[in-house]
Amino acid sequence: MLKLSYLRSAEELRKAASQWDALWQRSEVSAPFARAEFAAQWLTHFRPDAAFYGLVVEQRKTFLAALPLVASHSSKWTACGGLPSNAWGLCGDLLLDDAADEAAVLDLLVEGLNEAPWPLLCLAPVAYEAPRWQALLAAARGRGLDAMVVPSQRVGQVQIDGRWDEYQARWSGNHRRHLRKAARRAKQSGKLSLEIHTQPAAQLATLLKHACELEDRSWKGGAGTSILRAPTIFDWYLRQAGSMADLGHLQLMFLKHDDRPIAFEYGCRAKGAYYSTKVGYDAAYAALSPGQLLRAMLLEGFFSSGDVRLVDFWGPLTDATAKWATRDYAVGKVLIAPRRFVSRLALAGYASARPCWRRVRAYLPLRAAKANPK
């Protein structure tokens, strides 16, 4: 009764959006970027000419598993298939119906991976310790496909339970003191307020432009990594934010000091979780720690309302996020080699060369430092 099918383009993915999104709703994945529209937007914006291979296991036209794959440039060693993800958008994940016959569904999905048109599948970034990914790895190895995991980073989360004061008590003493001082300095010099937009409609472009201008006035502008310094990226975010608003996921926030925006956070909510995808602040107000104050006010609101159970920082665990996090999870790369000689050779070559490449990368900065001593 199970059937393996393929979606070959962004247009086909959009046509199947109702089935794809119903599967997302039933799966353990809460990030809304795994919905069909966002993967389709990523494909049309970043890789319009790339081969798309949307694997679907269905039963009576009901999707039970789905995995979006696209021709990728992420491997240095060979052509490969990857997820529709890059530095600007992580729009691919494994969707699996929690109520389905997991073994049968994943066995069929793995056969689809085995028939993929690339010699190697390089899936990143993925939360490889999550049950769905562990089950896929077990199914792949059980069907004779070679697979390996390459850890890369950890991502912080805040579990929203208990009371706000109980959560604050878990912070380090330095973190508590820093926030108290920052809040006192801000209030002494003006009035603080948090402005939240979820359905901005016609004013979305203006609001998003204000947010990007704030980001550009931070260190990101000087480094050339802000949204406004990257051609076409503002259009990408505007299209994504519009779809987020239409689907009820958008949360665009501004911290204001005497009605002047000094920091922003572009995030989204779905299935009881909040994802922090982009933050920025005006460097002229750095002494007030505006990003930290915005986060404190946002989290306090979540503890008060009770409608968000989890905050995900959606990026590498850093000093800035670790001080807030109550837990974290591993993210990395999953490599799968189909049952072909060239595929197994490619994966074995990658596994053998990786330790050498890591040593070279560690050595180069040391060599540069010796060549240019201060």
pLDDT, residue 353, reads: 79
pLDDT band at 362 (very low <50, low <70, confident <90, very high): low
Alpha-carbon Rg for the chain, nearest whole angstrom, is 22
Multiple choice CATH, 161-308, 3.40.50.10190, 3.40.630.30, 3.30.70.3450, 3.40.47.10: 3.40.630.30
Q: What is the pLDDT of residue 370?
A: 46
287's CB contacts (< 8 A; 6+ apart) are 185
Q: With bands split at pLDDT 50, 70 and 90, how would you rate the model's confidence at 138?
A: very high
Q: CA-CA distance, 349 to 355, in Å (whole number)?
A: 11
Query: pLDDT-based confidence at 39, cuts 50/70/90?
Result: very high
**Res. 361 pLDDT band, cuts 50 70 90:** low
The SS3 assignment for 82 reads strand
For the chain, give the percent of residues with pLDDT over 70. Answer: 93
Are 126 and 136 spatial neighbours (Cβ–Cβ below 8 Å)?
A: no
Instruction: Look at residue 160 in the predicted model and tell me its pLDDT.
Output: 97
- Topology (CATH) of 3-152+335-371: Aminopeptidase (3.40.630)
Q: Examine the pLDDT at 360 and tell me if it is beyond 90.
A: no
What is the 3 state secondary structure string of 252-311? EEEEEECCEEEEEEEEEEECCEEEEEEEEECHHHHHHCHHHHHHHHHHHHHHHHCCCCEE
Helix axes 233-247, 36-46, angle to 10 degrees: 170
Confidence band for 247, pLDDT divided at 50, 70 and 90: very high
Residue 371 clears pLDDT 90, i.e. is over it: no
Query: Who has greater pLDDT, 353 or 177?
Result: 177
Beta strands in the chain (DSSP E): 3-7, 52-59, 62-72, 80-82, 85-86, 89-90, 95-96, 120-126, 146-159, 192-197, 250-257, 260-270, 273-281, 310-316, 327-337
Q: Which band of pLDDT confidence, cut at 50, 70 and 90, is reported for residue 76?
A: low
Give the closest residue to 278 by CA, choosing from 152, 124, 89, 125.
89
Report domain extents, the chain. Answer: 3-152+335-371, 161-308
Full-model pTM: 0.91
Instruction: Report the percent of the chain where pLDDT is more than 90.
Output: 85
